[in-house]
Amino acid sequence: MKFNGFIAAIFMAIIIAYFVPEGVVLFPLKTITDIGVGFIFFFYGLKLSPAEFKLGLLNYKVHIVIQLSTFVVFPLLVLLFLPLFETGTGSDLWIALFFLGTLPSTVSSSIVMVSLAKGNLPTAIFNASLSGLIGIFATPIWLSFFLSKSADFEFLDVLVKLCWQIIIPLILGLILQKSLGNLARKHSKKLGFLDKTTIILIVYSSFSNSFSSRIFTNVETEDLLKLTALVVLLFLVVYFGLGLVCNFLGFKLKDKITAQFCGTKKSLVHGSVMVKVIFGNSANTGLLLLPIMIYHSLQLLLIAYFAEKYRKRVLLAETQQKFYR
């Protein structure tokens, strides 16, 4: 794994938030991040490639497995962890873990890792794009079952915020795709810098609020270790479980790679955006982001390791096929 500057910048933002939490007052971060979130999804709409989307459309069995894993299996597995938390659904740590379970898959890293492992790239592009669209609605719907009585969560208010900050910019991006889509895809890396800068500012703002409100003083080291262990367990259960399901369904190796890589990914970008939209400047937003940050780092390390193993396996299989021909 190469040095990941984005992950390093996120942890640096948390450190700065710890020592300078009042720094949030110096800049209108709420306005900046609100605008940034809108641009993230506007450019997301612009960069969706209709040709690549259609190319992966027909592989429906893989799509079903990935989307069920992302939006059904993950949340249900986190529900099984409830007995491990004394206050059950009243536990902020469990809600943070459940929030992780409801998030969509990543787009960029899913595609990069599937490409590295020689998996089915068109199917990966389709599922990563579809997951992001479904997650806009699936994440708040799942959360509404457990947060509907909370003063910080009003489902109708959340829907209005989703419309203004996510859905409307996304639709505008899709509408303007014909005229600006190629330009957006050409400058994808530069636009990605805007995404990452917005996420770093959201992380800083969230942890500033949490540190200022002393949310983390109520969290024991033992609880953080338990949270980390459950995040690792969640990844491993889903990853190897998907492998078994793919074998049972008779998937080809390239489809199995795509299912395992896309079906286990969780998006830090969507997590940061959803925390911002759903919970606003609530004091516990830093705590809510903690599991997805741990998971994001973990998935990059483990998937990179598995991708290299799969790449060698696929190349060996292709070499053997050429030899026997």
Mean pLDDT of 87-110: 85
User: Could you give the 3-state DSSP secondary structure of residue 103?
Assistant: coil
Comparing 211 with 232, which gets the higher pLDDT? 232
Q: What integer is the mean pLDDT of 47-73?
A: 81
Residue 56 has pLDDT above 70, yes or no: no
Going by pLDDT thresholds of 50, 70 and 90, the confidence category of residue 2 is: low
The stretch 221-248 carries a mean pLDDT of: 93
Say if 146 falls within a structural domain.
Answer: yes
Greater confidence (243 vs 315) lies with 243
Reported confidence tier of residue 73, pLDDT bands at 50, 70, 90: very high
Average of per-residue pLDDT across 243-265: 92
What percent of the chain clears pLDDT 70, i.e. is strictly above it? 85
pLDDT over threshold 90, residue 221: no
Q: Cα-flanking dihedrals φ and ψ of residue 268, to 5°?
A: -65, -35
**CATH assignment of the domain containing 284:** 1.20.1530.20
Whether residue 18 lies inside any domain: the answer is: no
Residue 238 has pLDDT above 90, yes or no: yes
Q: What's the pLDDT at 264?
A: 92
Residue 3 domain flag: no
Q: pLDDT tens digit string along 124-141?
A: 878 877 888 888 889 888
Residue 139's domain spans which residues?
Answer: 25-324
Average pLDDT over residues 16-34: 71
Q: Is residue 290 part of a domain?
A: yes
Q: Are 296 and 268 in contact (CB under 8 A)?
A: yes
Q: Is residue 104 part of a domain?
A: yes
Structure tokens that stand for 100 in this block: 């992780």
Return d(Cα 52, Cα 294) in angstroms, integer. Answer: 31
Q: What integer is the mean pLDDT of 30-48?
A: 78
Bigger pLDDT: 232 vs 212: 232
Measured distance CA(200)–CA(215) in Å, rounded: 20
**pLDDT value, residue 1:** 45
Q: Is residue 32 part of a domain?
A: yes
Cβ(104)–Cβ(155) under 8 Å? Answer: no
Distances (CA, A) of 265 to 105, 107, 113: 5, 9, 10
pLDDT of residue 23: 60
Q: Look at the chain and report how many structural domains it folds into.
A: 1
Read off the tokens for 26: 């110096």
* Confidence (pLDDT) at 12: 86
How confident is the prediction for the chain on average, in pLDDT? 81
Q: How confident is the model at residue 148 (pLDDT cuts 50, 70, 90)?
A: low
153-211 pLDDT, tens digit per residue, is 566 676 777 777 777 887 888 888 888 888 887 887 777 787 778 878 877 877 777 77
Q: Is the pLDDT of residue 121 over 90?
A: no
**Residue 229 counted as domain residue:** yes
> Would residue 261 count as lying in a domain?
yes
